[in-house]
Every structure is written in structure tokens, then in C-alpha cells.
């Protein structure tokens, strides 16, 4: 837990969010500024700055995030249409909150190009 991290505060219930899923490893909640009908952030419960600071021991955790994303996509009814997952990493990657998170967005056709 990082004292100043907004996503740590959501994980610990210090800050309100619309939590849609929670287990011992991850928390998923709706993005405060959704860019699509479904826009959920999936975060590890432990603080990790970004993909760039992942340890090899975090491999299971990262796989779990994808399994949870798939379940949430089904729950949200966006599986058939398809969806996009994004993890911005570092300044050039467009990361603004430095607690690793995966965006799950769907419910509309995504636009290209990325980047």
C-alpha cells in the first residue's frame, strides 16, 4: 500500500469507486471518465507501479487479471461484440496513475489507429 496512491485507496475502501469485482488478488472498478459503454479498470491489490516494475513472481497475478477480464466481459455482455484491453506504461505510454492497471473497454466498435 502506497499512502498517496489513489488506486491503493480504492482497493482498501478509503476512496469510493464503483467496484464490480474483488478477490484476494485483484479489484475491478468502473473508470471515472469512461471512454466506452463499458470501461473497467482491473488492478492488483498490492501496489505495483507499472508493467516496467513487474517481478517474475507476478506472472500468475498478471494471468489472473486476464481471466478476471474475460469473466467481466461476459458479465457486461460485451464478449460477443469483442473488447479491448490496454495497459499504458510510463509517460510515453500515456500512464497517468502509477498503480498498474488494465483497462477493459467495450460496448462499441473501437477506433484505429492506436498510437
Q: Which residues are catalytic?
A: 101
3-state secondary structure (DSSP) of residue 17: coil
Q: Measured between alpha carbons, how far is 35 from 63 in angstroms, rounded to an integer? A: 25
The entry of Zn ion, ligand 5GP, none that residue 2 binds, CB within 5 to 8 Å by partner kind: Zn ion
The entry of ligand 5GP, Zn ion, none that residue 47 binds, CB within 5 to 8 Å by partner kind: Zn ion
Residues between 33 and 52 with contacts to ligand 5GP, criterion CB under 6 A: 33, 41
Of 73, 95, 100, 105, the residue at the interface with ligand 5GP (CB under 6 A) is 95
Amino acid at each position: 500500500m502506497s499512502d498517496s496512491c489513489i488506486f491503493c485507496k480504492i482497493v482498501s475502501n478509503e476512496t469510493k469507486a464503483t467496484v464490480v469485482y474483488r478477490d484476494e488478488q485483484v479489484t475491478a472498478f468502473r473508470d471515472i471518465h469512461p471512454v466506452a459503454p463499458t470501461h473497467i479498470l482491473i488492478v492488483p491489490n498490492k501496489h505495483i507501479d507499472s508493467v516496467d516494475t513487474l517481478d517474475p513472481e507476478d506472472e500468475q497475478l498478471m494471468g489472473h487479471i486476464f481471466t478476471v477480464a474475460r469473466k467481466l466481459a461476459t458479465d457486461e455482455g460485451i464478449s460477443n461484440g469483442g473488447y479491448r484491453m490496454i495497459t499504458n506504461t510510463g509517460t510515453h505510454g500515456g500512464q497517468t496513475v502509477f498503480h498498474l492497471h488494465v483497462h477493459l473497454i467495450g460496448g462499441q466498435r473501437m477506433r484505429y489507429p492506436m498510437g
